[in-house]
Amino acid sequence: GAIVYENMETSVPGIFACGNVVHVHDLVDYVSAESERAGAAAAAFLRNGSCPASEEIPLTAGDGIGYTVPQKLRIGESFSSAEIFFRVTRVTGAAAILATNQEGKTIARFKREHLAPGEMERIILPAKLLQDVHGPISLSIQEG
């Protein structure tokens, strides 16, 4: 699907993508929430023009993660949190989803009892966790 920022804007300013154009969703609730985010961002774009320049943080799929949506975050004044969707590449029992910075330091850990490729996963990264992050964030699975 299209590569998008946290507000569902593509790399082409003013072009937004959501729903199954970006990735296949499990629940219509996720599609609805994503479309609301894209619609609000498109309306803001029409009112204010493009997003002011801010630091861009790529999200990368590490061990056990197939992809992330969004693939990039823009950390600016109005940024409060990022809702990240992804699918894992293998079935696990108890595991943790780790978000690590480019130095390999864990900035967030989310426990799960079970992970499977057929089930959409979702985490939320608040701005507070990202304030000192410069460079890519990798999501990965740690089993056990």
How does DSSP assign 31-59, residue by residue?
HHHHHHHHHHHHHHHHHH-SPPP-EEEEE
Q: Which of 65-69, 74-78, 115-119 has the lowest mean pLDDT?
A: 74-78
pLDDT band at 52 (very low <50, low <70, confident <90, very high): low
Tell me the pTM: 0.87
Q: What is the pLDDT of residues 99-136, one digit of tens each?
A: 999 999 999 999 999 999 999 999 999 989 888 888 99
Instruction: Residue 144: name the closest of 118, 107, 109 by CA.
Output: 109
